[in-house]
A and B are shown apart, each in its own frame.
Chain A
Amino acid sequence: MKDRLFIFITIILVVLFVASVLENILFSTSLEEYSGTILFERAKRVENDTSGILIELEQTGLQPREADYYQVMDE
Chain B
Amino acid sequence: MSKVKCLLCPRGCELGSGDRGDCLARMNVGGKLQTLVYGKPCAVHVDPIEKKPLFHYLPSSSSFSIATAGCNLHCMYCQNWEISQREPENTRNIDLQPQEVVNQAIAAKCRTIAYTYSDPVIFFEYAADTGRLAHKNNLLNVWVTAGYINPGPLKEAVSFVDAANIDLKGITEKFYETVPKGTLKPVLDTIVTMKREGVWVELTNLVVPTYNDTKEDFLRLCDWIVENVGVEVPLHFSRFWPMYQLKNLPPTPEETLTLARDIAISKGIHYTYVGNVPGHKGNNTYCPMCKNIVIARRGYMILEYNIVEDKCKFCNHTIPGKWQ
Task: Using CB atoms and an 8 Å cutoff, list the residues of chain A in contact with chain B.
Answer: 31-32, 35, 37, 39-40, 42-48, 50, 53-54, 57, 60-73, 75
Contact = CB atoms under 8 A, between A and B. Distances in A.
Interface in B36-92: 36-40, 81-82, 85, 87-92
Contacts of B89: 40, 42-43, 57, 60-62
Interface of B: 1-8, 14, 17-19, 26-27, 29-40, 81-82, 85, 87-93, 95, 124-125, 128, 150, 152-153
Given A39-B90, A46-B18, A71 B7 contact: yes
B18 A75 contact: no
Nearest to B97: A63
Nearest to A49: B18
Contacts of A43: 27, 87, 89
A15 to B, nearest CB: 31
A69 to B, nearest CB: 4
A70 B18 contact: no
A61 B324 CA distance: 40
Instruction: Pick from B6, B35, B81 the residue with the most CB of A within 10 Å.
Output: B35
B150 A69 contact: yes
Contacts of B150: 69
B153 A69 contact: yes
Contacts of A50: 1, 17-18, 29-30
Per DSSP, chain A at the interface is loop
Contacts of A40: 89-90
Nearest to B31: A72
Contacts of A54: 29, 34
A37 B91 contact: yes
Nearest to B26: A67
A39 B37 CA distance: 17
Contacts of B39: 63
Contacts of B7: 69-71
B3 A48 contact: no
A68 B30 contact: no
A21 to B, nearest CB: 20
Contacts of A42: 87, 89-90
B4 A68 contact: no
B19 A70 contact: no
Contacts of B128: 68
A67 B18 contact: no
Contact of A69 (B14, B34, B92, B152): B152
B93 A62 contact: yes
A50 to B, nearest CB: 3
Nearest to A35: B82
Instruction: Pick from A39, A63, A66 the residue with the most CB of B within 10 Å.
Output: A63
A64 B85 contact: no
A57 B131 CA distance: 26
Contacts of B29: 50, 53-54, 64
7 A-B pairs closest in CB distance: A50-B30, A60-B89, A45-B18, A70-B33, A64-B34, A67-B35, A69-B7
Contacts of A64: 27, 29, 34-36, 38
